[in-house]
Chain A
């Protein structure tokens, strides 16, 4: 056999799959504690001591292989299409009965399985003893006790996996007895399927018959399309008819459903194995564990919500207070570089490009990396401890009111419900929602949350105008984002997305101490994503925007006019028409310098207005003045469609081009805005609102289109959100002005 082979890693959510995957492959992966985080396919390489190269595919966490959501379909399609040599089925030893349900389905499929009995240390502490040899013998597959966290047993696991892979046996499906009615139906259907080679390339006839009886929608649909392609319509009709007949019979005789009988018998099979002395409990099974005791407080009626609020508020304090120092370092670093280049580079478009386009653009964005890092570290703690699942549990009743699902909270949180997420993975996380309507409502409203890219924009405005209560205002803005997202979701569920609610059946994973490694991987991964985005998309956008703000340049006549004005002022002062052309080389009294600076500012502003961006921005000014936005802000907002953090770099570029260069060391955009008489608190607040709620960035829109399956929804979210944000910002700005809160 070759030195390289492919295996799959499968198991229930929260079985410790991701932890094992990271341990085996050393991949930099996200380790969560929330059901359903691993939706995408992850691969990694494990190099065995014997020199084999094992390609491990991390399948999404599922409870079964019958289609319920996309995850089951993904997992099962992978097994059927890619035929991995071995499936490592990771099962929680302290929760074995339920975890063996999935195992049962691997056995029925026939794929070679090795069971990794995880958290064997936890089970031992709970007084649960498992006879692994006996279990292995009865299931007919190897069972290896491991602890993915500590690494105990992992080498042995991989040795056995390699052994099974080398044996390379054919798939051997296990037959579980489902009682007379079902078994007879299976036999009959199986015969017909085999005779007509129905979907025979992919599925064994017995397995296919069983899935039909389980009423698996995806399989039924696949059967229909196969039948249509191959002229076997009568086979598909027969199968569906047979299932209907069996269903009717079971309903009449036992008041139950075929799928219920199947599940009951699978659990019966598991129980019959476990009962034969495989598992012994030393303590009372109902004993309260630490996790349950914690839940008694953390999800209690009064303290639960209070603690939840306190936890979220604490996260903000952590994020904003502790990141201040490194933010300062980065700001001064970029300020120093900028000042250095200002002194040593020759005047001209290149200098302008480097300082105004590159350094201001990237510097403005990178300065916020520490905030994002602290924020993600905090989120990682909440996620990895298992607290986020409790948030979903406590929030469900509220969410249902708005026509959403408790799981919507995950998409919201990832999108920035705890400020600092990203709508791109948030929109993708809605895949775990089964009902198309709740899912659509969630993915259309998740971009309202304060994602990591809006965060620097909000932080900038807060820092410039509301610096006395940063954390409080940031917290209020988060609550506002939630309120708007929920209300809009309800509005959508009552209008374009009307329909019935979907089930909420979820697991509350036990509380766990996060591992430092897990937290570090999580934080680094998210921060790196941000940096990478900043370095590529943002740098590109920043340069593009610099170009649109620089070209076309002022016509020669106008340039000469400004030159003439300067000359006149200088000449007036020196009393001679032969004064130096460059006023910078002569020492002037302050009042003259100010006069020259004013001319220069006028020139720069004129130049920007003349540029492509200025034309677009001032074109929009006719409408945007209603919300208090001038053309500079408009340019920045247009740029923000590329990515929200571009708003900052654009404002930075706009101000360093359009204003007199700020004194050395005072290069912070925040200070520039705060000192600008054109800005006021109400204007800043109006902009904050608009930035929070207007069109999602281009990348998010693309994801919405992909997830919703139609450009219509991408266009909808752009148009709807922008209109909504504009109306809101205008309302607040006009009201603020009417109340005399500043122009």
Chain B
């Protein structure tokens, strides 16, 4: 178990969100889309230029820019296994 930032997750890696470290418009939008502590996410893929990233969340797919993913801390099973 380890806590890493969403940006550093590999494609196909899953984890549970532990913290969203941003307020304001971005924080609100991120949370209302279901990215709250306790939610499990899985990296579905990245755009051809490696940014934005596509996440599997609650049965749907969301996209975030890497610099936005930097505010999201995730607990992953085993960082090496990604």
Interface residues of A (CB under 8 A from B): 63-64, 66, 68, 92, 94-98, 101, 128, 214-215, 257, 259-260, 263-264, 267-268, 271, 285-286, 292, 295-296, 299-302, 304-305, 393-394, 396-398, 400, 406, 434, 502-508, 510
With contact pairs A101-B32, A398-B49 given, residues A286 and B14 touching in the complex (Cβ less than 8 Å): yes
A406 touches which one: B39, B44, B52, B62 (CB < 8 A)?
Answer: B52
In the complex, the answer to whether B47 meets A285 with C-beta atoms within 8 Å is: no
Cα(A89)–Cα(B36), bound, Å: 23
In the complex, the answer to whether B36 meets A267 with C-beta atoms within 8 Å is: yes
In the complex, the answer to whether A68 meets B60 with C-beta atoms within 8 Å is: no
Cα(A201)–Cα(B25), bound, Å: 27
Which residues of chain B are near A267, meaning CB under 8 Å? 31, 34, 36, 38-39
Cα(A268)–Cα(B38), bound, Å: 9
Highest count of chain B CB atoms <10 Å: which of A285, A286, A505? A505
B48 touches which one: A301, A406, A434 (CB < 8 A)?
Answer: A301
Say how far B42's CB is from chain A's closest CB, in angstroms: 6
Say how far B59's CB is from chain A's closest CB, in angstroms: 4
A505 touches which one: B14, B24, B33, B49 (CB < 8 A)?
Answer: B33
Cα(A66)–Cα(B24), bound, Å: 12
Q: Does B56 contact A (CB under 8 A)?
A: yes
A260 touches which one: B31, B45, B47 (CB < 8 A)?
Answer: B31
Which residues of chain B are near A406, meaning CB under 8 Å? 52, 63
B28 touches which one: A98, A214, A292 (CB < 8 A)?
Answer: A214
Q: Does B4 contact A (CB under 8 A)?
A: no
In the complex, the answer to whether B32 meets A95 with C-beta atoms within 8 Å is: no
Cα(A257)–Cα(B34), bound, Å: 16
In the complex, the answer to whether A505 meets B30 with C-beta atoms within 8 Å is: yes
29 residue pairs from A and B, CB less than 8 Å apart: A66-B32, A68-B28, A92-B60, A94-B59, A95-B60, A98-B59, A215-B23, A257-B23, A259-B23, A260-B31, A263-B36, A264-B36, A264-B38, A267-B34, A286-B14, A292-B44, A292-B61, A299-B45, A304-B48, A393-B52, A393-B63, A394-B49, A396-B51, A397-B47, A397-B50, A503-B30, A505-B30, A505-B33, A507-B63
In the complex, the answer to whether A506 meets B62 with C-beta atoms within 8 Å is: yes
CB closest chain-B residue, reference A286: B42
A264 touches which one: B37, B44, B47 (CB < 8 A)?
Answer: B37
In the complex, the answer to whether A95 meets B28 with C-beta atoms within 8 Å is: no
Say how far B20's CB is from chain A's closest CB, in angstroms: 6
Which residues of chain A are near B51, meaning CB under 8 Å? 396-397
Which residues of chain A are near B68, meaning CB under 8 Å? 503-505
The 4 closest A-B pairs by CB, nearest first: A263-B31, A397-B49, A503-B26, A508-B61
Cα(A63)–Cα(B20), bound, Å: 18
In the complex, the answer to whether B58 meets A97 with C-beta atoms within 8 Å is: yes
Which residues of chain B are near A507, meaning CB under 8 Å? 33, 60-63
Which residues of chain B are near A304, meaning CB under 8 Å? 47-48
Cα(A214)–Cα(B58), bound, Å: 23
Say how far B41's CB is from chain A's closest CB, in angstroms: 11
Which residues of chain A are near B49, meaning CB under 8 Å? 394, 397-398
In the complex, the answer to whether A98 meets B47 with C-beta atoms within 8 Å is: no
Which residues of chain B are near A302, meaning CB under 8 Å? 48
Q: Does B79 contact A (CB under 8 A)?
A: no
CB closest chain-B residue, reference A123: B59
Say how far A657's CB is from chain B's closest CB, in angstroms: 53
In the complex, the answer to whether B27 meets A257 with C-beta atoms within 8 Å is: yes
In the complex, the answer to whether A68 meets B29 with C-beta atoms within 8 Å is: yes
Q: Does B57 contact A (CB under 8 A)?
A: yes
Highest count of chain A CB atoms <10 Å: which of B44, B47, B54, B65? B47
Q: Does B5 contact A (CB under 8 A)?
A: no
Q: Does B9 contact A (CB under 8 A)?
A: no
Cα(A398)–Cα(B47), bound, Å: 11
B33 touches which one: A94, A98, A285, A305 (CB < 8 A)?
Answer: A98
In the complex, the answer to whether B47 meets A505 with C-beta atoms within 8 Å is: no
Cα(A503)–Cα(B49), bound, Å: 18
In the complex, the answer to whether B59 meets A504 with C-beta atoms within 8 Å is: no
B26 touches which one: A66, A296, A396, A505 (CB < 8 A)?
Answer: A505
Cα(A299)–Cα(B54), bound, Å: 10
Say how far B13's CB is from chain A's closest CB, in angstroms: 12
In the complex, the answer to whether B60 meets A504 with C-beta atoms within 8 Å is: no
In the complex, the answer to whether B38 meets A271 with C-beta atoms within 8 Å is: yes
With contact pairs A503-B25, A505-B64 given, residues A296 and B45 touching in the complex (Cβ less than 8 Å): yes
Say how far A681's CB is from chain B's closest CB, in angstroms: 36
Cα(A510)–Cα(B26), bound, Å: 24
Which residues of chain B are near A101, meaning CB under 8 Å? 32, 34
Which residues of chain A are near B61, meaning CB under 8 Å? 292, 295, 507-508, 510
Say how far A206's CB is from chain B's closest CB, in angstroms: 19
In the complex, the answer to whether B62 meets A505 with C-beta atoms within 8 Å is: yes
Say how far B22's CB is from chain A's closest CB, in angstroms: 9
Cα(A264)–Cα(B19), bound, Å: 11
CB closest chain-B residue, reference A263: B31
Cα(A506)–Cα(B52), bound, Å: 10
Say how far B27's CB is from chain A's closest CB, in angstroms: 7
Which residues of chain A are near B26, meaning CB under 8 Å? 503, 505
In the complex, the answer to whether A504 meets B64 with C-beta atoms within 8 Å is: yes
A394 touches which one: B20, B33, B38, B48 (CB < 8 A)?
Answer: B48
CB closest chain-A residue, reference B56: A286
Cα(A271)–Cα(B65), bound, Å: 27
Which residues of chain B are near A397, meaning CB under 8 Å? 47-52
Say how far B21's CB is from chain A's closest CB, in angstroms: 8
Say how far A103's CB is from chain B's closest CB, in angstroms: 12
CB closest chain-B residue, reference A400: B65
B59 touches which one: A63, A95, A260 (CB < 8 A)?
Answer: A95
Which residues of chain A are near B48, meaning CB under 8 Å? 299-302, 304-305, 394, 397
In the complex, the answer to whether A393 meets B47 with C-beta atoms within 8 Å is: yes
A396 touches which one: B30, B56, B65 (CB < 8 A)?
Answer: B65
Which residues of chain A are near B45, meaning CB under 8 Å? 295-296, 299-300
Cα(A400)–Cα(B49), bound, Å: 12
In the complex, the answer to whether B60 meets A295 with C-beta atoms within 8 Å is: no
Which residues of chain A are near B42, meaning CB under 8 Å? 286
Say how far A634's CB is from chain B's closest CB, in angstroms: 44
A503 touches which one: B29, B37, B50, B58 (CB < 8 A)?
Answer: B29
Cα(A633)–Cα(B51), bound, Å: 46
Say how far A429's CB is from chain B's closest CB, in angstroms: 18
Which residues of chain A are near B64, meaning CB under 8 Å? 504-505
Cα(A68)–Cα(B33), bound, Å: 12
In the complex, the answer to whether B58 meets A95 with C-beta atoms within 8 Å is: yes
With contact pairs A257-B27, A394-B47, A398-B49 given, residues A508 and B54 touching in the complex (Cβ less than 8 Å): yes
Say how far A549's CB is from chain B's closest CB, in angstroms: 52
A295 touches which one: B27, B36, B38, B44 (CB < 8 A)?
Answer: B44
Which residues of chain B are near A299, meaning CB under 8 Å? 45, 47-48, 54
Say how far A510's CB is from chain B's closest CB, in angstroms: 8
In the complex, the answer to whether B39 meets A505 with C-beta atoms within 8 Å is: no
Say how far B4's CB is from chain A's closest CB, in angstroms: 18
Other contacts beyond A98-B58, A259-B23, A508-B54: 17, CB < 8 A:
A68-B29, A96-B59, A98-B60, A128-B59, A259-B27, A264-B36, A267-B36, A268-B38, A299-B54, A393-B47, A394-B47, A396-B47, A406-B63, A502-B25, A504-B63, A507-B62, A510-B61
